[in-house]
Amino acid sequence: MKTHINLDTTEPLIIDVRETWEFGLGHIQHALNIPLGELPAKMEELKGCEREIIVYCQSGGRSGRAAAFLQSAGFNKVRNGGGIGEMAQHFPVNS
């Protein structure tokens, strides 16, 4: 399935790198779910995105790996948001 990424906004692109079943239990509002293992296959869809990218997971480990991967792929505005608990302090959660 192709991921729809809005390039016409300056809002950060929030990516939840947890598994789909974890995302279904609750996630940050407007976050895209791209599990860490699927991230390399989604690079073409992310190409051209100049928005800040914030990645998060359950506790920060997977999102750290995702942030490093994105940075090595040439994305300059990438931030590891850590775990969903940390992100929920700054963004609304859908449950």
Catalytic residues: 57
Q: What distance in Å separates the CA atoms of residue 53 and residue 82, rounded to the nearest whole number?
A: 13
Location of structure tokens 């959660």 = 93
Q: What distance in Å separates the CA atoms of residue 28 and residue 31, rounded to the nearest whole number?
A: 5
Q: How many residues does the chain have?
A: 95
Q: What distance in Å separates the CA atoms of residue 42 and residue 71, rounded to the nearest whole number?
A: 14
Q: What type of residue is 73?
A: A
